Structure 1
Amino acid sequence: MFRLSKVLGFGVSAIVAAAGLMFVGPSSSAEAVPATIPLTIKNTSGRSEPVYVYNLGTELASGRQGWADANGTFHPWPTGGNPPTPAPDASIAGPPNGQTKTIRMPKFSGRVYFSIGQKIVFKVSTGGLVQPAVQNPSDPNRGILFNWSEYTLNDGGLWINSTQVDMFSAPYAVGVKAANGTVTSTGRLKPGGYDAVFSRLRSAGWGGLIQSGPDGTPVRALSPGHGIEAGGIPADVMNDYINRVWSKYSTSTLTVTPFVNEPDTKYYGRVSGNVMNFTNAAGAVVTSFQKPDSDSVFGCYKLLDAPNDTVRGPISRTLCAGFNRSTLLTNPNQPDASGTDFYRDAVTNHYSRIIHEQMADGKAYGFAFDDVGAHESLVHDGNPQEAFMTLEPFN
């Protein structure tokens, strides 16, 4: 998961462990991946305002944080201050509506931001780059229309996603071209999907997630974890479902098989008191979880923390997916493999449900570990020739 923290450093381990975004491992195609690849940005938004693009992250060769210019040249952030000081202007002029622009992506782990109409306000503190935090009413970016894609380009290839983990906003799709010319893409909404997300959030009683501009037009919908923080939805919105799960597994067993390629690796969960203890095949307790609150469920953190290890993290990821998709009561064997069974309970992550319903391919990053079962909006190629980002119509 990628929570929009006030100060966030980018790195492969951060994206893998914190975002649940992608596996970055060795590849036989290492020599085939050049130092930079082209990123072609196409603007089909239908909007006349100027577009600004930012490529921010960690230079993998050095571990330094900074930004890349249009040529893919790395620039480290200067030393920041406390309070934070203005960051250098890292913006790249994006393509006008109906046009394309190609820039170069270096071997980075980070984000490609874009904004429409105004530049994003970035600052640098003593701890690193200060990111937008639009759940905060005083954040200077609250009224700016922007979004971002997360990616890693390394010797193993390119992983790039369309993410809604923190918010749903300006629509876009991403893609990658393989050596044989095939383009794989994801993130495209159905026709009318952009408007439908906002209208269906209101119908579900989750309209408090929506932030609007001065003219009343929606600018974004916060993810439910940020919505709790901002007071848009009740802090106990998932409690009824959480309580029912804890009750069920006080008298029955939840079986978690966290690795697709290791079907014999299983863990068994039973609730005793306020704690769900997981045992291995030998009956030894390997990890335990206190009953989570709604924010822990939506954020897949706090009481559902998922360290980058081989036991607790994979179990927590599976639990997080089951809570958000509301499959833990209907299937005692997790993860649930069938997307048709997701979000069926009246108490569920309606934000993620609605976004998935409006995606052309059904895939999204509606919450941190939406990649459990491969339901995430992510594309990868080990020998990428070109990456794509398409700004989509607002309808």
Structure 2
Amino acid sequence: MTHDHPREIARRSILRAVGGAALAGPALLAAAPSSFAASAVQPVSEEPDALESAAAGNRLPLTVVNHSGTHGNASVHVYIVGTDPRGRQVHVNRAGKAVPVALSDNGANGFTDYALPLAANGAATHLKLPRMSGRIYLSMGKKLKFKAVRDGNGQPSLQHPAGWVSSDPNFDVLHDFAEFTHNAAGMFCNTTMVDMFSIPMNLRLTGRGQHSTGTVREGGRAAVFAAMRRRAAFDRLVVDGLRVIAPGHGLDLGLFPKNYYRPYIEKVWDRYKRHSLVVKTNAGTFTGRVSGGRLTFHGPATVSFDRPTTRDILFCDGALAAPNDGVLGPVAAVLGAGFNRSTLLRTGPQPTTRPAAFYRTTLTNHYAGAIHSVVGNGKAYGFAFDDVGDFASYIQDVAPRRLQLTVTPF
């Protein structure tokens, strides 16, 4: 299945914006790939009339369930933050109202306390999501420190945790997040490991259908940590028992080789001096060759790419930047996925959509490969264009009735 990837381009923009700075835009756009089949994670029972009433009032019922097996409800904290339809940065309170961020929200310690506690009794905590785009953060053991600041336009905004930065005040806090956009078009959400892998969680969305992101198998979290510790170049990405940092962030921090992909890039560039690379997208079929140091494709339009760096590959940016234009963007996305999955030297058109062919070479994104290997349906967001071929942990429904986020067993 080919794919135009308009949603993921916007998502990468927000990931750059929130790296230790203020959330600057919507997490997702409405256009997205097809939903995925439901997993074994079961929803907590609700009263249908109450659910429909709440959803009709533009506040989607959200149930949070803690099945971690390591942390009791008293030590788990939920934060819902993002941008409302008016473009204001907001946090959601216990009543499900989106409250604008204010500098006065910072307490004596210099940080806000937007934590929503889990229910003291029972497995489920019932909340509501207003219409907005943002993230649902979870922290365990300690609360997160969000700081209200002024953005470049002088408006109140929020600094988000950056678990891959050792100087971040939340570096020693076990935390993770899911992303969502809830608007008049429906509910669009995903679990993401693009920045880091820390807390295994599942999203289950009920609306016109039943949809679920992939579930990390029991013991899968430990398996990812162990796999990274065993592999040279990736071993330094493990932060104690807290998280594994994505290799792109690791590269920026000097923890991952900046020329890791160089031998593979050279092989790709050399091969396509002599052979044609065929890329199929919804816009049509593109055929490319390397000439003058650039990989140039002809087809519905002519698009060209400079030789990428390792950083370009890991962030799907730079030489592989993908504008939301329906032409260059889709080709860039396929190339980004092919480099991360190390499938570009295989014969036949791209994208390669057979999972057994992914991450099979010595030089590949072993971080993404390890995460995919422990998810029940094989779908995860290990890098920005992991949705090429619909392998991402993304779900949607145009008539949502409820959302359940479950912390699954560690």
TM range (shorter): 0.7 to 0.9
Return 5+ residue gaps in structure 1 as ranges: 25-31, 213-217
Post-superposition CA distance 1:172-225 (Å, at most 9, x none): 11111125xx6422231112111100111122221111011xxxxx10000110
Preserved contact between residue 41 and residue 95 of structure 1 (Cα < 8 Å):
no
Aligned equivalent of 1:52, options 58, 73, 77: 77
Return 5+ residue gaps in structure 2 as ranges: 1-11, 35-54, 152-156
Preserved contact between residue 219 and residue 409 of structure 2 (Cα < 8 Å):
no
* Cα 1:268–1:120 shift into 2, 3 Å: same
Preserved contact between residue 208 and residue 232 of structure 1 (Cα < 8 Å):
yes
Post-superposition CA distance 1:51-103 (Å, at most 9, x none): 1111111112x1211111122211112259xxxx9453221112459621010
Matches of 2:293 and 2:160 in 1, distance apart? 36
**Which stretch of structure 1 is more off in the superposition, 354-363 or 298-307?**
298-307
Aligned equivalent of 2:218, options 183, 191, 194: 191
- The amino acid that maps onto 1:270 is R
Post-superposition CA distance 1:232-277 (Å, at most 9, x none): 2211111111111111111111111122xx5xx1222211232112
Preserved contact between residue 253 and residue 332 of structure 1 (Cα < 8 Å):
no
Residue 296 in structure 1 maps to residue 317 in structure 2: no
Identity value in percent: 37
Matches of 1:87 and 1:331 in 2, distance apart? 54
Matches of 1:135 and 1:378 in 2, distance apart? 23
- The amino acid that maps onto 2:289 is R
Aligned equivalent of 2:144, options 120, 123, 127: 120
Q: How does 1:108-257 map to 2 (within 5 A)?
A: 108-127=132-151, 128-179=157-208, 183-205=210-232, 206-212=234-240, 218-257=241-280
Q: How does 1:260-271 map to 2 (within 5 A)?
A: 262=283, 265-271=284-290
How many equivalent pairs are there?
A: 365
Could you say which residue in structure 2 is the equivalent of 1:275?
A: 294
Matches of 1:331 and 1:372 in 2, distance apart? 18
- The amino acid that maps onto 2:333 is R
Matches of 1:144 and 1:228 in 2, distance apart? 22
- The amino acid that maps onto 2:219 is G
Preserved contact between residue 42 and residue 98 of structure 1 (Cα < 8 Å):
no
How far the C-alpha of 1:332 sits from its partner, in A, is 4.4
* Cα 1:166–1:150 shift into 2, 3 Å: same
- The amino acid that maps onto 2:352 is D
* Cα 1:331–1:34 shift into 2, 3 Å: farther
Residue 64 in structure 1 maps to residue 88 in structure 2: yes
Preserved contact between residue 176 and residue 386 of structure 1 (Cα < 8 Å):
yes
Matches of 1:314 and 1:8 in 2, distance apart? 28
* Cα 1:204–1:95 shift into 2, 3 Å: farther
How far the C-alpha of 1:16 sits from its partner, in A, is 4.0
* Cα 1:101–1:326 shift into 2, 3 Å: same
* Cα 1:192–1:96 shift into 2, 3 Å: farther
Aligned equivalent of 1:345, options 355, 361, 365: 361
How far the C-alpha of 1:11 sits from its partner, in A, is 3.5
Aligned equivalent of 2:28, options 15, 23, 29: 15
Matches of 1:22 and 1:33 in 2, distance apart? 23
How far the C-alpha of 1:135 sits from its partner, in A, is 2.3
Preserved contact between residue 267 and residue 280 of structure 1 (Cα < 8 Å):
yes
Preserved contact between residue 338 and residue 350 of structure 2 (Cα < 8 Å):
yes
Residue 93 in structure 1 maps to residue 117 in structure 2: yes
Q: Under a length normalisation based on structure 2, what TM-score does the superposition of the two structures give? A: 0.83
* Cα 1:63–1:331 shift into 2, 3 Å: farther
RMSD of aligned residue pairs (Cα, Å): 2.3
Could you say which residue in structure 2 is the equivalent of 1:27?
A: none
* Cα 1:302–1:226 shift into 2, 3 Å: same
Preserved contact between residue 43 and residue 95 of structure 1 (Cα < 8 Å):
no
- The amino acid that maps onto 1:65 is Q
Post-superposition CA distance 1:269-289 (Å, at most 9, x none): 2112321122225xx6x3221
Q: How does 1:290-369 map to 2 (within 5 A)?
A: 290-369=306-385
Post-superposition CA distance 1:103-157 (Å, at most 9, x none): 0001111100010111111113322321222322211111000000001111221
Preserved contact between residue 177 and residue 184 of structure 1 (Cα < 8 Å):
yes
Q: Under a length normalisation based on structure 1, what TM-score does the superposition of the two structures give? A: 0.86
Preserved contact between residue 28 and residue 188 of structure 2 (Cα < 8 Å):
no
3-state SS, counterpart of residue 370 of structure 1: coil
Matches of 2:120 and 2:228 in 1, distance apart? 31
- The amino acid that maps onto 2:304 is S
How far the C-alpha of 1:314 sits from its partner, in A, is 1.2
- The amino acid that maps onto 1:267 is F
- The amino acid that maps onto 1:207 is D
